């Protein structure tokens, strides 16, 4: 990139951030039981991925998502992977993401994880490592979409001189994914409402796909079909629901009975194949942090291939051998509670006081299935700009894989960075910012 164009992009970062504020590009967060809307700070220096490097990632991500989809189909049906003892049963049935209600169900067109958000980091050794798979309701694609739109306005010459794959077709890709599994009728985005952390994304994607954004009270179930009821009382059948509500709250008749944001009996209609729910309920069993350990084994088992992308070296204290390793190397490991998400439940062995460590070890020995331990990946810093100066900060990448007739990797992604120089935690809920992700065309 020419110097002048690079300067344009950086100098106009404040304008881009003020436009992001103008369009209400925010996320919600609860602090002390009070809801706050916060702007998601945007850094103008993109993460740049070369064409060849992306081709490698693309191949690895497709492979991983294909295996995860096969795993989900298998777990809720034949369970061959359990019978063949590749994955221990207790990792399935003890997982909070496993839903017995999904047993025997094959969703429309056999797709379970339609939108997969795969978190990766680039190690200082030049190797990309998968940190986690998000197969329930992964969010974040809307942020680079709108940031790209605004950066193109603020620095058109940059995009004239650098050939970057256009990421603004995400909504079309998503609509195509939803249409593929639609069982006949409207496609809608189902939101729990504006006090959800990702409400901006729900409404923005509905706008860009030109589909209705609905709440549970707009939908009714009748004669084994799902309907949207309009203001005049007219009913229109719904064939695909892009739900941004977690499994637990999706249907009070089948899951959490206290849910007031779900649609009663929607799951029964889904079970009968009369509506597609995207992503499929029960996917949590495959993105559990404990199951992560087994994904390379799944790839070998279902596809007969060697995994292209690497997991971070992971230990399961559930296995005696791994427990011994964890106890001996505690200070150099990061420990994760498999039930937590969003950067919570993550502790670094070397940051604990001796009392904390003592308490933690008691817990670990009592509930070994609850934790995984990983080597701390020394991942690459990326430059960020703050008050005109540049600093290096930890950053990850959430890649999006959309599965319809075949998996497609979106040629972009959400790059999140830590704003704290000493932190590896990049989540927006913990004060992180985001960058656009450029995939070069050549």
Partner 1 sequence: MGVKSVEHIDRLYWLGRYSERVYTTIKLYGKRFDSMIEEDAEGYEEFCQSLEIPNIYTSVEDFREKYPFGRDDPNSIYSNLMRAYDNAIELREEIGSETLAYVQMAVYELNKAAISDAPMIEFQNILDDTLAFWGIVDDQIEDEETRNIIKLGKRVERIDLYGRLRVDRASMRREVHRINGRIDRSGLRYNKQALARINELIEEEDLNYPEIVREIEKILEV
By beta-carbon proximity to partner 1, the closer residue of 264 and 345 is: 264
Assess 22 for contact with partner 1 (CB under 8 A). yes
Interface with partner 1, residue 34, by CB under 8 A: no
Regarding 153 and contact with partner 1 (CB under 8 A), the answer is no
d(C-alpha 411, C-alpha 22), whole Å = 26
Q: How far is the CB of 217 from partner 1 (least distance, A)?
A: 7
CB of 24 to partner 1, least distance (A): 5
CB of residue 164 vs partner 1: minimum separation in angstroms?
A: 22
Shortest reach from residue 159's CB to partner 1, in Å: 21
Q: Is residue 236 a contact point for partner 1 (CB under 8 A)?
A: yes
Site residue total, partner 1 (CB under 8 A): 25
67 vs 189 by CB, closer to partner 1:
189
Q: Is 85 in the site for partner 1 (CB under 8 A)?
A: no
9 vs 188, beta carbon nearer partner 1: 188
Q: Does 186 bind partner 1 (CB under 8 A)?
A: yes
Q: Which is nearer to partner 1, 67 or 214 (CB)?
A: 214
Give the separation between CA 13 and CA 21, rounded to whole angstroms: 12
Question: Which CB, 261 or 338, lies closer to partner 1?
Answer: 261
Considering the complex, state which of residue 48 and residue 229 has its C-beta at the smaller distance from partner 1.
229
Residue 440, number of CB atoms within 10 A of its CB: 16
**C-beta of 27 vs 91, nearer to partner 1:** 27
Q: How far is the CB of 206 from partner 1 (least distance, A)?
A: 4
Nearest distance from residue 32's CB to partner 1, in Å? 18
Binding region for partner 1 (CB under 8 A) out of 16-24, 162-170, 314-322, 383-391: 16-24
Closer residue to partner 1, CB minimum distance, 64 or 244: 244
Considering the complex, what minimum distance in angstroms separates the CB of residue 13 from partner 1? 19
Those residues with Cβ within 8 angstroms of residue 313's Cβ, 6 or more apart along the chain or in another chain = 374, 375
From 115-123, 186-194, 253-261, 346-354, give the range in contact with partner 1 by CB under 8 A: 186-194
Residues 194-233 that bind partner 1 (CB under 8 A): 194, 199, 203-204, 206-207, 210-215, 217-218, 228-231
156 is a site residue for partner 1 (CB under 8 A): no
The answer to the question of residue 24 lying near partner 1 (CB under 8 A) is yes
Q: Under the rule (CB under 8 A), what is the footprint of partner 1?
A: 21-24, 186, 189, 194, 199, 203-204, 206-207, 210-215, 217-218, 228-231, 236
């Amino acid at each position: 990139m020419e110097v002048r164009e690079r300067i344009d992009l950086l100098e106009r970062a404040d304008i881009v951030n003020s436009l992001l504020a103008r369009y209400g590009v925010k996320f919600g967060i609860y602090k002390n039981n009070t809801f706050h809307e916060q702007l998601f700070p945007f850094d103008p220096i993109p993460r740049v991925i070369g064409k060849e490097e992306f081709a490698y990632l693309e191949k690895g991500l497709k492979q991983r998502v294909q295996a995860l989809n096969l795993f989900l189909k298998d777990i809720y049906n034949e369970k061959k992977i359990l019978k063949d003892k590749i994955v221990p049963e207790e990792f399935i049935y003890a997982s909070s993401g496993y839903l017995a209600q999904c047993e025997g169900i094959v969703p429309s067109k056999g797709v379970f994880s339609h939108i997969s958000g795969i978190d990766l980091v680039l190690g200082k050794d030049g190797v990309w490592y998968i940190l986690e798979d998000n197969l329930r309701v992964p969010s974040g694609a809307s942020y680079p979409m709108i940031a790209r739109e605004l950066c193109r306005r603020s620095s058109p010459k940059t995009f004239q001189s650098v050939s970057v794959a256009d990421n603004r077709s995400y909504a079309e890709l998503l609509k195509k994914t939803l249409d593929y599994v639609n069982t006949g009728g409207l496609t809608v985005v189902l939101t729990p409402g504006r006090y959800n952390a990702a409400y901006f994304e729900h409404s923005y994607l509905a706008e860009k796909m030109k589909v209705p954004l609905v709440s549970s009270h707009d939908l009714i179930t009748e004669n084994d079909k799902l309907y949207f009821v309009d203001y005049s009382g007219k009913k229109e059948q719904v064939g695909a629901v892009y739900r941004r509500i977690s499994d637990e709250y999706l249907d009070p008749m089948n899951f959490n009975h206290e849910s007031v944001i779900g649609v009663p009996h929607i799951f029964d209609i889904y079970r009968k194949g009369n509506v597609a729910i995207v992503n499929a309920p029960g996917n949590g069993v495959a993105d559990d942090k404990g199951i992560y350990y087994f994904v390379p084994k799944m790839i070998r088992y279902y596809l007969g291939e060697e995994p292209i992308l690497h997991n971070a070296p992971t230990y399961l204290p559930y296995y005696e051998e791994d427990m011994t390793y964890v106890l001996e190397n505690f200070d150099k490991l990061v420990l994760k509670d498999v039930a937590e998400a969003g950067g919570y439940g993550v502790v670094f062995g070397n940051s604990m006081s001796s009392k904390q460590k003592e308490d933690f070890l008691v817990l670990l020995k009592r509930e070994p299935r609850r934790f995984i331990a990983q080597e701390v990946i020394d991942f690459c810093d990326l430059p960020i700009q703050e008050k005109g100066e540049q600093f290096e900060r930890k950053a990850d990448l959430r890649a999006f894989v959309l599965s319809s007739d075949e998996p497609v990797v979106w040629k972009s992604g959400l790059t999140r960075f830590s704003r704290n120089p000493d932190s590896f935690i990049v989540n927006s809920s913990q004060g992180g910012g985001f960058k656009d992700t450029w995939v070069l065309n050549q």
